[in-house]
């Protein structure tokens, strides 16, 4: 229920006028205003219908933009699973599980987790096909440095990624949504960057508020 707050003062002369005079005058005012109000209401209705008619072709476009589209697998790109050899076995298992769950339970087609410079990359990526896993790992590290992903300090979400505003050429062709969650370690003096978690999807508006909160909780498990 909405409450309208009126800021104009009460007219004491009207408030203290006898009820018979007030009622008679109110009847005359109401009778005259009723005809004017009916004409005004009809005009407003006509304008509303006109606005609706002009806007109708655009409603589908706007409504579609807020809907989560279906994920499709990239027609081009390499399906990879690369993980830094220097990572301990326990952390490797956690990263392998996390990337698998993200690919399975969301619209994600590509996921990358970086922890203190060490990488775990899984899914479809726009990367060279004729490389060993060690070479591919080094290639991804160079790309991360070139893009500056390790320097991201704020959560980024691009629900309509088109590839023009960001030159992230490692993403698979057809990428429509990109979400980056930095791994920030809070210390007594400052915030230390531990890495990031990146997911990408071929669906537009792929990550809802609930999805992003869940991915953020997943990223928390890898903060130092």
pLDDT, position 102:
97
Average pLDDT of span 32-57: 46
- Cα torsion 34, 36, 38, 41 to 10°: value is -130
pLDDT at 162: 80
Which of the given ranges, 9-23, 31-45, 48-62, has the highest pLDDT on average?
A: 31-45
pLDDT mean over 50-75: 49
- Domain locations along the chain: 12-65, 78-220
**Does the pLDDT at position 14 exceed 60?**
no
Class of 78-220 per CATH?
A: alpha beta
Residue 80 above 80 pLDDT? Answer: yes
Give the model's pLDDT for residue 151.
87
Q: What number is the average pLDDT over the span 71-95?
A: 91
Task: Out of 51-55, 80-84, 155-159, 164-168, pick the least confident.
Answer: 51-55
Return d(Cα 211, Cα 167) in angstroms, integer.
25
User: Which letter does DSSP use for residue 93 in this model?
Assistant: H
């Amino acid at each position: 229920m909405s409450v309208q707050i009126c800021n104009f003062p009460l007219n004491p002369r009207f408030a203290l006028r006898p009820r018979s005079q007030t009622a008679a005058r109110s009847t005359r005012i109401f009778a005259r205003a009723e005809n004017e109000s009916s004409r005004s209401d009809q005009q407003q209705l006509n304008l509303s219908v006109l606005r609706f008619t002009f806007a109708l072709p655009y409603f589908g476009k706007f409504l579609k933009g807020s809907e989560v589209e279906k994920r499709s697998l990239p027609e081009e790109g390499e399906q990879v699973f690369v993980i830094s050899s220097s990572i301990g076995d326990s952390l490797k298992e956690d990263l392998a599980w996390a990337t698998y769950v993200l690919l399975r339970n969301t619209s994600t087609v590509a996921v990358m987790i970086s922890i203190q410079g060490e990488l775990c990359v899984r899914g479809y990526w726009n990367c060279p096909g004729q490389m060993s896993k060690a070479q591919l790992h080094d290639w991804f590290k160079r790309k991360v440095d070139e893009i500056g992903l390790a320097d991201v300090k704020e959560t980024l979400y691009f629900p309509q990624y088109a590839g023009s505003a960001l030159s992230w050429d490692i993403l698979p062709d057809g990428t429509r949504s990109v979400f980056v969650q930095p791994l920030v370690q809070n210390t007594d003096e400052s915030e230390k960057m531990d890495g990031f978690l990146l997911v990408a999807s071929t669906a537009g508006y792929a990550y809802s508020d609930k999805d992003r909160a869940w991915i953020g909780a997943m990223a928390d498990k890898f903060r130092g």
